Chain A
Amino acid sequence: MSLQPQLDLEPRIRLVDVKKSFGQTVVLQGIDLHVMEGEVLVLIGASGSGKSTVLRIMAGLETADTGEVWVNSVPLHDPRRSKEIRGHVGMVFQQFNLFPHLTAQGNVTLALTKARKLSAVDAKQKALAVLERVGLADKATNYPSQLSGGQQQRVAIARALAVEPSIMFFDEVTSALDPELVGEVTGVMKSLAKEGMTMVVVTHEMAFAKQTADRVVFMDQGVIAEQGEPEQVLTNPQNDRTKQFLHRVLDV
C-alpha cells in the first residue's frame, strides 16, 4: 500500500523516471516521486546523492534530461510550457539570495509590483503581512546586510510566501546558519507545514525531519534508496546505506 495520503487528487508534483547528468557525471538515474497536496516531503542523503538536483528540477531551475516532471499540472519537461511555473512556487536557498540593494520590504515587494503588477500600496501591505508572519515586521526597512543570517533567511521565506505559492521548496536553508539561529528558521517552516503548505525540503536537520515530515526520502547515488514515514526511515531504516548515513549524521 502506498504511504501517501489517499486522496482522489492529482499529485501536486509527479516525477516519472527522471534522469539527469552534468557532463559525464550521472546525478539522477531514474527518479519516480509523487508529492500530494499539503504533504511535507523531506529529502535526505549525503552530498552528491542528487537530492538538491531533484529539488531544483521540481522548482524549474534545472531541466531533466529524460522523464516527466509535472508540477502544479505544468509539464516542466516541455520547454514550451515550463515557464508557466514561474511565480507560482516558492523557493528558499542555502545562500538566501536576497537582493542586497533592497530593504527587507523591497525584497518582498519587487516581484509583487513587477511580476504581479500590484500597486505600490497593495504590495507594501502584503509585504508587511508576510514579514509579520515570519516575525520581522519591525525589520521591514533594514537591508539584508543589517540582519542576522536567521533573519535574512526568514525574509527570504517571506519573499517567497508573498506571491502565494502553491508549493514551497527549501534547499538546505539552515546549512549556512550558526547553530543557534537554526531554530528560528525551522520554527517558521514548521508553522507553514501546520497551515497545510505543500513543502519539499532538502535538509540535514534530522530533528526537523522527524518532527515535521509526512514522508522522508533517502537518496543515494542518484536513486531513491528508501522512503517512508519519518519514524520508520530515521529510527528503523531497512537499507544499509540509510543506516550508514544516519549513523554518520547523528553521531557528528
Chain B
Amino acid sequence: MNFSLVFDSLPLLFQGLLMTLLLSVASMIGSTIVGLVAATLRTSRLPVGSQIARVYVEIFRGSPLLITLLVVYYGVAYAGYAMNVLVAAIIGISVYHGAYIAEIIRGGIEAVPHGQWEASRILGLSSTQTFTSVILPQTRKLVLPPLVGQYIALIKDTSLAFIIGLAELTRQGQSIVDRVGQPVLIYFLVAIIYFIICYPLSLWVQSLDRRRLA
C-alpha cells in the first residue's frame, strides 16, 4: 500500500467529502419537501392534483437518476440559463428521491385509520388542521425507518453528480486517479468514506425498526 499517496490525496478527498455532505443534506431537505407535497396531493381529494402526483412519481421511479441529472443540467442550460452545478445536482436528486419519499409518506398517511378523519371532522377541524395536527404526527413511527433508508440511498446516489462535473467525493477521487493512477486504492478509500457516512444511519434504521416492532 502506498501510504504517501493515501496521505497526499486526503486534502482533496476531504474537500470532496464536504461537497458530498452539503449536497446530501440539501437534497434530503429538498426531497423531503417534494415528497411531502406530492404525498399530500396524492392522498388529497383533488382529482387533478392526485393525478399529477401519481404521474410525477411514476416518471421518476421509472427513469435513472443519471439521466435525471443530465436532463436538469442541460435542460436549464438550453433554456438559456446558466445554472450552478451544485444547484442542478440538488434539484435533480431532490425530484428523483422525492418520488420515492412521496410513496413512503403516502403509505404512512393511508395507514392511519379513517376514523381519525371522521372524529376530527365532527369536532370541527378543517382538512388541513386534521392533516397537520392529527394525521401527520401519527405517521412518524411508521415512516421514519423507510425514510432514513431512503436517505442512505440518496447519500450514495450523490456520487452520480460527478457526471455533471460537481467536485464531490467521487469526482475528487477520479481526478486523483487521473493524475496518479492507483484506481483500486483511491476508489477503495472513497468507498470507505461513503461507508463511514452511511453506516451510522443504517444502525439507526435498525434500532428504529426494532422499536417499531417491539
A80 within 8 A of B: no
- The answer to whether B125 and A91 have CB atoms under 8 Å apart is no
**Scoring A residues 77 to 100 as 1 if CB is less than 8 Å from chain B, else 0, what string do you get?**
000000000111111010101111
Point out which of A90, A114, A160 has the most chain B C-beta atoms below 10 A from its C-beta. A114
Q: How many residues of A contact B (CB 8 A)?
A: 25
Rounded to whole angstroms, the CA-CA distance of A100 and B137 in the bound complex is 10
What residue in chain B is nearest A115 (Cβ atoms)? B124
Enumerate chain A interface residues (CB-CB to B < 8 A). 59-61, 86-91, 93, 95, 97-101, 110-111, 114-116, 156, 159-160, 163
**Distance from A13 Cβ to chain B, minimum over Cβ atoms (Å):** 15
Chain B residues with CB below 8 A from A87, complex form:
122-124
- The answer to whether B138 and A101 have CB atoms under 8 Å apart is yes
- The answer to whether B113 and A163 have CB atoms under 8 Å apart is no
Rounded to whole angstroms, the CA-CA distance of A60 and B117 in the bound complex is 13
Known: A93-B115, A95-B115, A114-B129. A101 touches B137 (CB 8 A): yes
Of A95, A100, A101, A110, the residue contacting B123 (CB under 8 A) is: A110
**Distance from B20 Cβ to chain A, minimum over Cβ atoms (Å):** 35
Which 5 residue pairs are nearest across A and B when measured between Cβ atoms? Answer: A87-B124, A111-B123, A115-B124, A97-B115, A97-B119
What residue in chain A is nearest B130 (Cβ atoms)? A114
Enumerate chain B interface residues (CB-CB to A < 8 A). 113, 115-116, 118-126, 129, 133-134, 137-138
- The answer to whether B119 and A91 have CB atoms under 8 Å apart is yes
Chain B residues with CB below 8 A from A89, complex form:
122
Of B116, B122, B126, the residue contacting A60 (CB under 8 A) is: B122
What residue in chain B is nearest A88 (Cβ atoms)? B124
Contacts A/B (CB < 8 Å), 24 sampled: A59-B122, A61-B121, A86-B121, A86-B123, A86-B124, A87-B122, A87-B124, A91-B119, A91-B122, A93-B119, A95-B113, A99-B116, A99-B134, A101-B137, A101-B138, A110-B133, A111-B120, A111-B125, A115-B124, A115-B129, A116-B124, A156-B119, A160-B123, A163-B123
- The answer to whether B121 and A110 have CB atoms under 8 Å apart is no
Point out which of A89, A91, A97, A115 has the most chain B C-beta atoms below 10 A from its C-beta. A97
- The answer to whether B134 and A111 have CB atoms under 8 Å apart is no
**Distance from A252 Cβ to chain B, minimum over Cβ atoms (Å):** 27
Chain A residues with CB below 8 A from B121, complex form:
60-61, 86
Rounded to whole angstroms, the CA-CA distance of A97 and B120 in the bound complex is 9
- The answer to whether B122 and A114 have CB atoms under 8 Å apart is no
Rounded to whole angstroms, the CA-CA distance of A206 and B122 in the bound complex is 27
Of B118, B125, B138, the residue contacting A115 (CB under 8 A) is: B125
- The answer to whether A93 and B118 have CB atoms under 8 Å apart is yes
What residue in chain B is nearest A89 (Cβ atoms)? B122
What residue in chain A is nearest B119 (Cβ atoms)? A97
- The answer to whether A110 and B122 have CB atoms under 8 Å apart is no
Rounded to whole angstroms, the CA-CA distance of A163 and B125 in the bound complex is 11
**Distance from B142 Cβ to chain A, minimum over Cβ atoms (Å):** 12
What residue in chain B is nearest A111 (Cβ atoms)? B123
What residue in chain B is nearest A165 (Cβ atoms)? B122
Chain A residues with CB below 8 A from B138, complex form:
99-101
Known: A110-B123, A114-B125. A61 touches B137 (CB 8 A): no
What residue in chain B is nearest A98 (Cβ atoms)? B119
**Distance from A162 Cβ to chain B, minimum over Cβ atoms (Å):** 9
What residue in chain A is nearest B128 (Cβ atoms)? A114
Rounded to whole angstroms, the CA-CA distance of A101 and B122 in the bound complex is 19
Chain B residues with CB below 8 A from A115, complex form:
123-126, 129
What residue in chain A is nearest B138 (Cβ atoms)? A101
Rounded to whole angstroms, the CA-CA distance of A114 and B125 in the bound complex is 7
Chain B residues with CB below 8 A from A156, complex form:
119
What residue in chain B is nearest A156 (Cβ atoms)? B119
Rounded to whole angstroms, the CA-CA distance of A250 and B125 in the bound complex is 40
